[in-house]
């Protein structure tokens, strides 16, 4: 009987892979991976393991999600141990839920191996705690993919008035609209924002600014990148530990 492991690869730093993920990667007959999973992880696979790339290149989908679901299923018919390796955590904007539902429908057994999401770990490597006593009592992880100009938004913008932390994933291209929208909601133009690119890797870049100037300051930052909005960003001054930490 075959089994599919919907596996989180962590955010980039290979040492943030879980022990469980490493075990199934070593046992896998095939690994189906995407762009955000650090490719160095594949070196841990046994000899003879097959690799299938189903990633996206800068917004250009190599393969639609329906086809990815089918690739996973077809591999499960051929192999005993199938690892579906996804960047960060498979259920945090990873479409892992859709893949799991497809496998369920097809009668294929699956396990979910959570991964360390970039939403928390990239800020941590930038010296930004997503919650902090007296500063932020909660954090939200929000898709930045939807334009704030959309008429009927699924994003509860009205809830973003507090000082609680907001982490936008997939939002860099929408940053001008996101910062404008937050100012319209009443946040001060000098409210702190950080953009973190390639978080937890040796290429990590962190740009700190305000709602008013972050677009200009982060203009040339490469993806993947996420946006942190909140007073917690101010803690980076004291808590930054990773960059230049050789
Ligand atoms: N499942 C993933 C997120 C997938 S959505 C996770 O849990 O991390 C893809 C988005 O994640 C990117 O657009 C970017 O906003 C963010 N992201 C992923 N890896 C990142 C990294 N190393 N540094 C900064 N942002 C990252």
CA distance 165 to 135: 9
Q: Per-domain residue ranges for the chain?
A: 3-113, 118-239
Q: Which atom of ligand 1 is nearest to the CA of 12?
A: 22
Q: Which pLDDT belongs to residue 179? A: 96
* Cα separation, 41 vs 27, whole angstroms: 13
Q: Which residues lie closer than 8 Å to 89 by C-beta, 6 or more apart?
A: 8, 96, 114, 115, 116, 117
* For ligand 1, mutation pick of 9, 34, 59, 88 (most atoms within 8 Å of CB): 88
Position 202 scores a pLDDT of 95
Looking at ligand 1, which atom is closest to the CA of residue 96?
1
Note the pLDDT of residue 60: 62
**Domain 118-239 CATH assignment equals 3.90.320.10:** no
How many Å lie between the centroid of ligand 1 and the Cα of residue 170? 7
Does domain 3-113 fall into CATH 3.40.1010.10?
yes
Of 205, 192, 186, 197, give the one whose Cα is nearest residue 226. 197
Ligand 1, atom 25, residue with closest C-alpha: 225
Structure token pair of residue 190: 């000098």
pLDDT at 72: 98
What are the residues whose beta carbons fall under 8 Å from the beta carbon of 80, sequence distance 6 or more?
A: 1, 2, 3, 29
**What residues does 51 pair with on adjacent strands?**
31
What is the pLDDT at residue 37? Answer: 83
* Ligand 1 site residues, Cβ closer than 6 angstroms: 11-12, 36, 86-89, 92-94, 117-119, 122, 169-170, 196, 198-200, 224-226
Six-digit token string for 246 = 């050789």
pLDDT along the chain (246 residues), means of 10: 96 97 98 90 96 75 88 98 97 95 98 98 98 96 84 83 93 95 95 98 97 97 97 98 77
Q: How far apart, in whole angstroms, are the C-alpha atoms of residue 6 and residue 91?
A: 9
In which element (H, E) is residue 21 found?
helix 19-27
140 alpha carbon, distance to own chain's centre: 13
- Of 137, 123, 107, whose CA–CA distance to 194 is shortest? 123
Catalytic residues: 34, 56, 170
Write the residue with the smallest CA distance to atom 11 of ligand 1: 169
Two tokens, residue 133? 């006593």
Note the pLDDT of residue 61.
62
């Amino acid at each position: 009987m075959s089994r599919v492991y919907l596996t989180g690869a962590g955010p980039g730093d290979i040492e943030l892979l879980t022990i469980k993920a490493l075990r199934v990667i070593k046992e896998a007959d095939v690994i189906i991976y995407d762009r955000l999973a650090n490719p160095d992880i594949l070196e841990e696979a046994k000899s003879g393991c097959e690799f299938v790339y189903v990633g996206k290149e800068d917004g250009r989908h190599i393969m639609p999600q329906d086809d990815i679901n089918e690739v996973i299923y077809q591999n499960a018919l051929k192999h005993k141990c199938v690892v579906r390796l996804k960047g960060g955590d498979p259920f945090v904007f990873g479409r892992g839920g859709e893949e799991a539902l497809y496998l369920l429908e097809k009668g294929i057994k699956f396990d979910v191996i959570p991964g360390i999401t970039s939403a928390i770990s990239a800020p941590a490597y930038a010296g930004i705690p997503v919650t902090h006593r007296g500063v932020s009592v909660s954090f939200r992880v929000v898709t930045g993919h939807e334009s704030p100009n959309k008429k009927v938004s699924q994003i509860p913008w009205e809830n973003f008035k507090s000082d609680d932390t907001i982490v936008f994933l997939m939002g860099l291209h929408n940053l001008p609209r996101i910062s404008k929208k937050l100012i319209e909601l009443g946040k001060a133009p000098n409210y702190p924002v950080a953009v973190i690119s390639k978080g937890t890797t040796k290429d990590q870049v962190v740009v700190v600014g305000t709602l008013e100037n972050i677009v200009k300051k982060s203009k040339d930052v490469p993806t993947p990148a996420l946006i942190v909005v909140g007073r917690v960003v101010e803690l980076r001054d004291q808590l930054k530990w990773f960059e230049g930490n050789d």
